[in-house]
Amino acid sequence: MADSIRIKAKAQGAEAEVKALITHPMETGQRKDKKTGQAIPAHFIQELVCKHNGAQVMSAQWGAAISKNPYVSFVIAGAKTGDAIEMSWVDNKGEKDSASAKVE
């Protein structure tokens, strides 16, 4: 799923706040298709990794209880304008995506 990650990274003094919004169904596997009555298969991001200037700073394990179109925000001390932020995810079907942005 290309282009699924939007990153906003903003320097605030001696740190940077990183915010990411990801387009993903985060399907729990508990919902039923209205027409067929079959359960809609689970389809959710299981791992999220964030790198700051190439070094991994955050790794998250997610369950299907993270909302559809998931959002995450955290703060990196010592990050400054121009630094590189890279975010990537893998879901339970093995699908993946990644994106980069610079700290503003």
Partner 1 sequence: MKKQIILSMLSVLGLAPLLSLASPENDLKQFQAYYIQKFPDTPFEDFSNGLYGIDKVRREEWLAMEEFPPYEPGVAIGKQLFEKHKIGSCFKNGGIGIRQNYPYFDANSGKVKNLESEILECLQKQGVDLEAEKFVAEKGKLAAISAYMAYTSRGKKFNVVIPNDDKAIAAYEKGKRFFWAKRGQLNFSCADCHIASAGQQIRSERLSASLGHPTGFPVYRKAWEIDDGNPALTGFGTLHRRYKQCNEQIRAKGHKFQSDEYLALELYETYMSNGLPVSGPSIRQ
Partner 2 sequence: MQRRQFLKGTLAGSAVAVAVGAGLLSPRSVLAAWPTAAFEAKSVNDALSGLFGNTSAADSKDIEIKAPDIAENGAVVPVSVTTKIAGVTGIALLASTNNNPLAANFEFAQSVKGYVSTRIKMAKTSDVVAIVKAGDKMYTNKKNVKVTIGGCGG
Binding site for partner 1 (CB under 8 A): 6, 8, 19-21, 23-25, 31, 68-69, 71, 73
- The one-letter amino acid at 72: V
Any idea what the Cα angle at residue 5 is, between residues 99 and 50, rounded to 5°?
55
Q: Which of residues 44-73 bind partner 2 (CB under 8 A)?
A: 46-47, 52, 55-68, 70-73
Residue 101, contacted partner among partner 1, partner 2, none, CB below 5-8 A by kind? none
Q: Tell me which residue of 31, 102, 32 sits closest to 68, measured CA to CA.
A: 31
Q: Judged by CB, which is closer to partner 1: 71, or 100?
A: 71
